[in-house]
Structure 1
Amino acid sequence: MTDIITADVTVRPATPQDRPAVERLWLMFRHDLSEFGGALPAADGTFRSERVGCAFSAPGWAAYLLASGDHPAGFAFVRGLEGPVRVLNSFFVVRGARRRGVGLRAVREVLTRHPGPWEIAHQQDNPAAAGFWQRVAEDLAGEAWTREPRPVPDRPDLAPDLWISFTVTG
């Protein structure tokens, strides 16, 4: 039995020792997203996971582990750290930690570690994500943010993703 998660959250760079936990969290993340893209797991029950590998080893990427006490509560993958715009490539909070302030605290911590221009995408058909990311943009940028639909690469059958853009100051 695990403890109930509170709004207390720590965010730290994920280490190679954290990778197995992040890979299991990734499965939960992809499962949640399958509702919006219709993706099914592979025959072995896993989902595509190239981004996990990139987050742990590709230049310009960073992986973060979110925790509540001793319990993993989610992850964040950032890319574009060597370019002009950072992209929050993937962000996940376990369901038991949602609506408790964990996500907002964690994403604020991740984004402020890398000041500058940011872009974050979410599924147009996901109203919970739309509300969350709007709160994040308003919290970090006030009214100085934009939202635009962009087609999902190689998936003309899906609704466009919504991309929000804003700048985080140090």
Structure 2
Amino acid sequence: MRIGFLSSHGGSGMRAVLEAVERGELDAQGVLCISNNSSAPALEVARRFGLHTLHLSARTFPDPAALDAAMLAAFRAAEADTVVLSGYMKALGPAVLNTYAGRLLNVHPSLLPKYGGRGMYGDLVHAAVLAAGESESGATVHAVEDEIDGGPVLLQSRVEVLPGDTVESLRARVQATEGPLLVAALRAL
């Protein structure tokens, strides 16, 4: 498996996958990390693991179709057969979605379909879970389709919401499950 990554920020999911590859727990190779944020820490993480990195965004490609085509060309040039979103905060274009259908994964910090969709990311998800008085939360790995967080659920991890939980404490427990969950989903592919 040759994995390309998309990340806007820290890339913790990407790091977990690359560490699993390094430990021999996943028969794969990371080949490329694309970010829409030229200062994303994920780019440095990717470089440390020997991946090629690119900054592709609306700034470098103002036309969405051109950005979609550039992203697809980069993944093809890297011979990526699977693409993982690791905290990528932008919608994907139809060329990437169609080419990688069924091999395009995202990890989301909730038990989808709850707390997914536009505007539901990071600490906003954890705050919404706490505000709703949920008894459990977790993470979901899902196939990426054109609806944000709307693709089929592949795997989920569950964590109990504890009395006195804060956004920070809940985030820490959910994040601790995301990497192993993503690795398990990639193994299943």
TM-score in terms of structure 2 length: 0.32
Higher strand share: 1
TM-score in terms of structure 1 length: 0.35
